[in-house]
Amino acid sequence: MPFNIAGVLVPLHLIVNPRLIIPSIIVKDIRQLDFPELRKAGYRGAVFDKDNCLTVPHDDRLVPELQEAWRICRETFGEGNVLIVSNTAGSHQDAGGIGAEAVSYHLSAPVLRHPSLKPSYSCIASIRAYFASLPVPVRDEELIIVGDRLLTDVVLANRMSPPSEKSPIGDLSSSDEKVSEVTKPAGPLAVWTTGMWRRDATVLRWIEQGLLHGVQRWVIPEVPNAEQMRRFVRPLPPIEEPVKEEGMLKKLWSRFRR
Ligand SMILES: [Mg+2]
């Protein structure tokens, strides 16, 4: 993992603006996100972190459990509107963009080439330039930004929000979509995934969670719009337990043989 000066300086920014670390939605992984519902609410584009969000760290392939959710996500938002922004693949440390090519191939989605790491403002500028260049440009407030790290992914998303402005969800949608009375953050929706596909950066995660806990306890006790955000979250699919079934069959067989 490259040294991330932008990430190291975030705690200083949190002193001025502690809201930066608060996610709008917390899920275990992307299977819990209701992408069609997000689209209905006016979200038209998505930014995804790679390591421990879509793939095992340092692997280019999608985690098999996420295949269906990833397909639905790409179909819902459309070709080009789902962008992977990683601090490994596509960053300045990815020599020749080889990592970005491999990830883009395996995940069937573009990987942003960016000169500086998340959550820097330079990286934000690269994200904005990408979505502005699309045939139908996507605005900041039409984006969801999904990642497993508070000090990079969530802070990046919240840095793209103008301070404490609200806009009706219907304003973001095309005219044929129903105008809703609920409000949403004026910037991107910050989604924090808490499940890890492989343990990494344990101490940093512990610090991040401590900071979030501190902000929620002492500064901002309530997550803004928490009730409204629940509509975008689905329960996780049940875990398949083939071993147990086999055990039951064996048990039945042994009873039958008696
Ligand atoms: Mg990550």
Distance from residue 213's CA to the centre of ligand 1 (Å): 20
Distance from residue 143's CA to the centre of ligand 1 (Å): 18
Distance from residue 199's CA to the centre of ligand 1 (Å): 11
Residues 147-167: what's their mean pLDDT? 85
3-state class (DSSP) for residue 90: coil
Q: How far apart are CA 10 and CA 152, in angstroms?
A: 8
Q: How far apart are CA 175 and CA 92, in angstroms?
A: 40
The total number of residues shown for the chain amounts to 258
Per-residue pLDDT tens over the stretch 178-210: 434 445 668 999 999 999 999 988 999 999 999
Tokens in use for 57?
A: 């760290």
Distance from residue 52's CA to the centre of ligand 1 (Å): 5
> What is the tally of structural domains in the chain?
1
Distance from residue 247's CA to the centre of ligand 1 (Å): 37
User: What is the spatial order of strands in the sheet that 45-48 belongs to?
Assistant: 25-27, 189-193, 143-147, 45-48, 82-84
pLDDT in the model for residue 213: 93
User: Does the pLDDT value for residue 228 go beyond 90?
Assistant: no
- Hey, what amino acid is at 214? G
Q: How far apart are CA 106 and CA 77, in angstroms?
A: 18
Cβ neighbour number for residue 34 with a 10 Å cutoff:
15
Residue 198's domain comprises 5-257
Distance from residue 148's CA to the centre of ligand 1 (Å): 5
Please state, rounded to an integer, the average pLDDT across all residues of the chain: 86
User: Does the pLDDT value for residue 49 go beyond 80?
Assistant: yes
Give Cα 63 to chain centroid, integer Å: 15
- Check if the beta carbon of residue 181 is closer than 8 Å to that of residue 200: no
Q: What H or E segment, with its residue span, contains residue 40?
A: helix 35-40
- Check if the beta carbon of residue 117 is closer than 8 Å to that of residue 87: yes
Distance from residue 244's CA to the centre of ligand 1 (Å): 33
Q: How far apart are CA 41 and CA 154, in angstroms?
A: 20
Query: Which pLDDT band, with edges at 50, 70 and 90, does 225 fall under?
Result: confident
Distance from residue 47's CA to the centre of ligand 1 (Å): 12
- Hey, which residues does 25 pair with through a beta bridge? 191
pLDDT in the model for residue 167: 43
Q: How far apart are CA 45 and CA 42, in angstroms?
A: 9
Distance from residue 201's CA to the centre of ligand 1 (Å): 10
User: Does the pLDDT value for residue 246 go beyond 50?
Assistant: yes
Find where tokens 């989604």 sit.
191
